[in-house]
A and B are shown apart, each in its own frame.
Chain A
Amino acid sequence: NAGVTQTPKFQVLKTGQSMTLQCAQDMNHEYMSWYRQDPGMGLRLIHYSVGAGITDQGEVPNGYNVSRSTTEDFPLRLLSAAPSQTSVYFCASSSAGRLDMNTEAFFGQGTRLTVV
């Protein structure tokens, strides 16, 4: 049972480059989200999706784009990387929002991104 899979695990980008962080889950969860983790700031929500074709902004969406064409995949795109986007990125999925379901969030192992 793979759970939530993130790729790559590590990435170094130059300022201005673009890239896509991949996230896939095999639990048929409707809800997926992206967080960034920075020292002393915990996890901050970037974007989230409540189902295929539906996305919305979180706390820190600027500089990031997402799409949700399938239930399984929720890629995060950096169009023009900046040093301020150096962080550890976590993807999560859950069935949150439904009162009769377990609302535990399952996390990927993270992507450590450095922008130089």
Chain B
Amino acid sequence: AQSVTQLDSQVPVFEEAPVELRCNYSSSVSVYLFWYVQYPNQGLQLLLKYLSGSTLVKGINGFEAEFNKSQTSFHLRKPSVHISDTAEYFCAVSVMSYDKVIFGPGTSLSVIP
């Protein structure tokens, strides 16, 4: 069975500082990987996804993530955060030949002015 781990439940960071949100997954087969963002009182929206090809994936709002197959990781990074990046971030995995999308527990990013 697939699972997703987000070790950091809360990440405070000062405005304009860099940030990395960690995501590790377990799966015995190839997967698709996603990062979703949830702003307060809203639904989830896709930040970026890895389906195949280049392991460095760029998404919206200046975020990027790197797929590392040997470490089964898909960490999310941004070189300089803004107040508006304060939100909950979810890593998710979908098995290529299957239909379930499994989410991690989420990381709450708080950007401090």
Contact = CB atoms under 8 A, between A and B. Distances in A.
B67 interface: no
27 contacts: A40-B105, A41-B105, A42-B103, A45-B100, A45-B102, A45-B103, A58-B100, A90-B44, A92-B44, A92-B101, A94-B101, A96-B94, A96-B99, A97-B98, A99-B96, A103-B32, A103-B49, A103-B51, A103-B101, A104-B49, A105-B34, A105-B36, A107-B45, A109-B42, A109-B43, A110-B42, A110-B43
Given A40-B9, A41-B105, A104-B49, A97 B99 contact: yes
B34 A48 contact: no
Interface of B: 6, 9, 32, 34, 36, 42-46, 49, 51, 90, 92, 94, 96-106
Nearest to A108: B43
A24 interface: no
A90 B105 CA distance: 15
A50 B95 CA distance: 14
B99 A50 contact: yes
Interface in A35-79: 35, 40-45, 48, 50, 58
Interface of A: 31, 33, 35, 40-45, 48, 50, 58, 90, 92, 94, 96-97, 99, 103-105, 107-110
B46 to A, nearest CB: 5
B105 A48 contact: no
Contacts of A58: 100
A43 B90 contact: yes
B105 to A, nearest CB: 4
A97 B100 CA distance: 8
